[in-house]
Amino acid sequence: MIPFLQKLKHIQRKNNSLLCIGLDTDVMKVPEFLYKYEDPQYEFNRLIIDATKDLVCAYKLNIAFYESVGEHSWYTIHHTLARIPEEIVTIGDGKRGDIGSSAEKQAHSLCYDWEFAGTTVNPYMGKDAVEPFMKRKDQCAFVLAITSNKGAKDFQYLKAKGKPLYEHVVLQAKKWNTKKNVGLVVGATKPEDLKRVRKIVPTMPILIPGIGAQKGNLEATVRYGCDKNGELAIINVGRGVIYAGSGDEFADKARASALKYREQINNYRQKYFG
């Protein structure tokens, strides 16, 4: 059982990449020729994975895109994960978090059935809602701290004891990180806050969505999201890669887009971390 941080650092160094591809596959948007297959959603994922697996450190599956398809989604996720090389980090983006007994069942699905290496967890209900996701040292619970959506301001920036609420979340997650298997989610659209978070948690992994379609600042994301060695940032790009092309050559277009993002990220890593 390889500890999560060790696995993450290994693949980031081997593939020279901080790029995570979001396999948020909308079955209504896959190329028409894939509908001849029994599971076009999986076939789309398979071709994307095969085209990009040497360019990434992680793949992130937003569970809602699969659950909404129906009962076959359980198999689609299993088959997709089986296609991803073992050394690459997989993240189940379900944003779970409920009372203890319910959270246990949620964690069983994501951590023991599908066996994602990482999960996203909503901390609103406190430690007992997160704890089931951080039992294993080889799995990481990514706690939502600052999200990249417009509604983030409704709660995440409310002041409590002189600090924004998100900062209290970050400090709690840092306390929970006794097994070095807790991370944070911080959106790329908030670079100054990302800088603040990294200062508080210099050695924790940060999953950073919001690059591409959400127009997050890539340079600032690399500069402020990485640790002192230019690592431990997991920079997610979804639509900007998987929908880079729409025809028969969509996987080749996805590879070209992923390569571009990896090169840009590494140029900024070189600039700021040498």
Q: Locate tokens 């992994």: which residue?
A: 205
Structure-token pair, residue 94: 């379900």
Distance from C-alpha of 120 to C-alpha of 91, rounded to nearest angstrom = 8
Q: What does residue 20 show for φ and ψ, rounded to 5 degrees?
A: -115, 130
Determine whether 253 is an active site residue: no
- The β-bridge relationship of strands 163-164 and 159-160 is antiparallel
CA distance 73 to 63: 9
**Torsion from C-alpha of 152, 156, 159, 160, nearest 10 degrees:** 160
180 conformational bin, left if phi > 0, alpha if psi -120 to 50, beta if neither: left
Dist CA 86 CA 10 (whole Å): 12
Q: Which helix (H) or strand (E) holds 234?
A: strand 233-237
Active-site pick, 7, 53, 95, 150: 95
- The residue among 207, 212, 200, 139 whose CA lies nearest residue 174 is 200
Backbone angles phi, psi at 118, to 5 degrees: -140, 155
Residues annotated as catalytic (active site), given as ranges: 95
